[in-house]
Amino acid sequence: MKKTIYIFSVLFLLCAGALKGQAENTLTAVVTPTDGQHFTVELGLANTDAFISFQADLVLPEGVTLQENSLQTTARLSGLTVEASMVSSNRVRVVGYSNTNTNITAGSGKMLSLVLVTREDVELNSAALTLRNLLFTKANYEEIILMGSTVDLVTGETVEGDLNGDGILTTADVSLLVEKVMAGATGTKYDINKDGRVSVSDVTAMVNILLKQ
């Protein structure tokens, strides 16, 4: 059985206008799991234009939110102030700007990453994430607007009882389930025996699955 994987790559072409020597810039988004509930979004930029600011909205699937203080930037955004926050119940806005006209210089590579978290009562068998309001500003204050796009988030084959998302069922998953039972968790992913509640019976059911491997 394969490890559950959520991954998508999104390519957007930024058009500088119908001018001679038209520049082409590409924004790339990749999502990968970090455990059973969290996954990391990485935004990268391959650009022939230099930019001094940008904005992007991430419209999230139901039950998915931004993990606080998870935003990390790379050297590509040195000199820019970058912020990410939930602006509505299902939308993350990421903005970057410079008070000194510092550029995101031409080149390619990752700009930033942030972590999204899924509620415990939500199972993402399939979902969509939409990027909207994509705006980059050049040093001469010319604005380049990207077309919004929606991409599917597709799950691979899952391992029954794999709560920590490492692709295998081990005693670590049993320990995690015990913690969730003691904490009064209600997520369907912890209802191993599918009786509609999370209890010590689910721990027993998981141990039985583990012993049969």
Residue 124 falls inside a structural domain: yes
Same domain, residue pair 93 and 126: yes
pLDDT at 83: 97
Same domain, residue pair 142 and 40: yes
Domain region containing 187: 171-211
Residue 76 falls inside a structural domain: yes
Domain boundary among 127, 154, 181: 154
Running DSSP on this structure, what letter comes out for residue 78?
T
Residue 1 falls inside a structural domain: no
**What is the three-class DSSP state of 30?**
strand
Distances (CA, A) of 80 to 58, 106, 138, 201: 20, 15, 14, 52
Same domain, residue pair 143 and 196: no
Same domain, residue pair 105 and 16: yes
Same domain, residue pair 99 and 45: yes
Closest CA to 107 of 36, 25, 46: 46
Residue 17 has pLDDT above 60, yes or no: no
pLDDT tens-digit map of 74-126:
999 999 999 999 999 999 999 999 988 899 999 888 999 999 988 877 776 66
Residue with tokens 């957007």: 12
Buried b (16+ CB within 10 A) or exposed e, 3-30: ebbbeeebebebeeeeeeeeeebbbbbe
Residue 88 falls inside a structural domain: yes
Same domain, residue pair 63 and 122: yes
Q: Read off the CATH number of the domain in which 28 is found.
A: 2.60.40.680
Same domain, residue pair 51 and 95: yes
Residue 163 falls inside a structural domain: no
The residues pairing with 104 across neighbouring beta strands, listed in sequence order, are 51
Same domain, residue pair 207 and 132: no
Query: How far is the C-alpha of 69 from the C-alpha of 115, rounded, in Å?
Result: 9
Question: What's the mean pLDDT in 16-35?
Answer: 60
Domains in the chain, number? 2
pTM metric for this prediction: 0.64
* Other CB atoms within 10 Å distance of the CB of residue 145: 12
Alpha-helical regions (H) of the chain: 171-182, 200-211
Residue 161 falls inside a structural domain: no
Same domain, residue pair 59 and 140: yes
Question: What's the mean pLDDT in 12-25?
Answer: 42
Residue 182 falls inside a structural domain: yes
Q: Which amino acid is at 41?
A: V
Of these ranges, 85-99, 125-139, 163-177, the one predicted with the greatest mean pLDDT is: 85-99
Q: Percentage helix, strand, coil, to 5, in the chain?
A: 15, 45, 40
Quickly list DSSP for 131-185. Answer: EEEEEEEETT--EEEEPPEEEEEEB----TT--SSSSS--HHHHHHHHHHHHTT-
Residue 183 falls inside a structural domain: yes
